[in-house]
Structure 1
Amino acid sequence: MKLSPSTILPALCWGASLASAASAAFYTYDPHSRSHPQSRTLSPVAARLVLAQRAGVEEYHSADLDREEVIDAINDFGVRTLLFEEETHKRSMFIYLEGVKETTESIPVLKDHASFTLDPVPESASSRELFMDIARQVGSGDWKLSKYEPNSGETEGKVFQNGNHEYHFYHAGSITELEQLFQSVDGMKSSSITVMIMPMNTSATPGSWGTYEMPNAESPLRKRQQKEVPLELEPIVKQAPSKSDATPFTASKSNKTGEPLRGILPACFSTLSACQKETRNCTGHGRCTLYHSDKSRNEKSSAKDCYSCQCKATVYTDKEGRISTTTWGGPACQKKDISIQFWLIALFSVGMMFLISFGIGTIWTMGDEELPSVIGAGVSGPVKRS
């Protein structure tokens, strides 16, 4: 049977629509971010680490932190803490949207957000369970995934408070509800936002997100007994810590930037997590990378690898379009390069010293010269007359 163009073109369009509908994407927004990284495709494991870092619970996912792809993904799409940032009330928003059939590239409320897609697309039930597990790691107690209802007036979702930082978790059922959520919640533009958009996918292989740990009342961290199996909407009940027994959340405490880094920082750190914790993720001016690895040491040696900060220049553009570049240095990228200002002050000081010395020398030379004879005759004594 010969296929005509009238039947081939609709089939291609239908296949393209299915491909776009089956895509999974993450959208991130930070109020102090000046530029967005280029959109690209990440593995589900790297996306999970980005989500955990933005929620401040990366200690439960430390087994995969040493991957190069994970390091680059966190540096590009993770939350950055700025040096000397004012310690004010902060809020992080996490939104889960599932079952979107149309493309998400044209959503107006997400046009200012950085984004990345996932390949392969994880299974729907495990994606919902991951989102709920992140909420359990941030807070305490069990949580059921309840959908946001725009007409009920309930816009708080699930809120966890840690000091002066609030973590809000929402579940939107459609793009319309997502847009209404952005309009109804106050202070969205001043919040750190993470939107997780997943298609209704039941054919994927379970376990694409990898494994991680969960809080437990008996021990601070507990290895998951089940590796991402298909789940219904109701999550499997896990034993959760009480408020008195739970391990206090320390990620935000180690990332406080209201006070400078104290002490002398080492040039190398044995692990990536130690580098990010001690340098506060290079104070937001760079990223922790593997500087070198001593292959002569034992594989289990803690001093085998050397992680250090790789500083990046910060480019600012003012309202008039003028561009200024700030270069950072130091073991935590916490020192601003002031070599230009130093040389300007040094050259100006040397020039002023030369001018003053030249002026004093000129006056001194003029004072050493003898007076002319005419002036000497004019000041002689009176002549005696006979």
Structure 2
Amino acid sequence: MRLVAGLTAAALSGLAAAANQQSAEVYLLQSSWQSSPETPSIPKEVARHIFLQRTSRQRYGSDLRDIPGSIDTQTAVDHLATFGKTPTPLFTHADKTDASQLVVILEGTAAEQSSRLKEKLGQNAAFTISDPPSATANKHLMTLFRNLGVASSQQCELSAMINPFEADCWAGPSSVVKYDLRASPETLDALFDNLSRLDKFVADGDLEVLLVLLPESSRSSKLNHWSAAAAGAAADLRRRRDAEMVISDQDNTTPKATPPAKKPAASSGSGSAAHRAKPIPQCFPSLKSCMADTNSCSGHGECVNKYGGGGGNSSDSASAPASSCFACVCKATVVSPPEKGRKTKHWGGNMCQKEDISVQFWLIAGFTVTIVGAVTFAIYLLFGVGEETLPGVIGAGVSRSK
């Protein structure tokens, strides 16, 4: 009897926890957006793809393999097309720039705060997230954005973040920021005080905003990732990393010394074995880490900040902002002395470790196609001449001998 009572109490507590789980509201502030009276409810995986599609600095290819079975793929694609970033028209003036993309995640939103925000905005939520994950999942999500170079520093207040021309808080055309309303409830008041400025930026087409209101009940959720995959956001980051290893010319020309049995080590000039064993990311947070993990771009280039205004040697690990993205820029090298003829090699790859032979390939391919076409055309002409009938005058002058 006690066992049955215990099972019943556990089941009722589970149902109560599921009932207390509130959905997260997402508001879309966009100049061409018209709110609908019906608010769709989408899973967290689709919402994550919408965030990535809006903030991606390159063309985002959606990998929808992590979409749960509760929603079909076509419906997920429709949500991405509806709530994602509007594609640039084909025939657009060169001086026309896309609006900056801002995603604001507000944790610990109370029901009263959500109602006030809805009243101030004067519109319904664009969509709701049916299963908002925990605060741990939000930290993983911000780490993903930070590795992609789009997450902003938490030191910037919301009143400064809504200005896309604020150079101290914006390092590119998109940004993601997260605030905890339970720890800093004044953030919502700052949003209310600056709604007129925000509306002006949105109306002028300079800014598009996603406001994600995560309820307080989601803070202790058992969902620790925004993605349904086993590794969540970490797996998504690994798919964006290049699994190639660091290669240097000295590895092929200089014989390696046998390391001691107790403490193996490698010389600093040829790169350590640990550097060659781990995958190299597309972005490094500092110049020092870029130079160390790529073996100085394999000696064929230099590390520069993709999204910074200065060169690669203008920032270090102490002064580089959180949104810095240092990567290798490859340079050409001369591999033969001038008296024997100048021979230049071009390099590619995320560590400048590959020789770029695209020019040679296209020369050989173009020459081969041209020669094959010319020979085929000549054979066709020869067959055409052989098939022509002789004129009748030649046949009339021939007589049979008696």
TM-score of the two chains, using structure 1 as the length reference: 0.44
TM-score of the two chains, using structure 2 as the length reference: 0.42
Considering fraction of residues, name the structure with more strand: 1
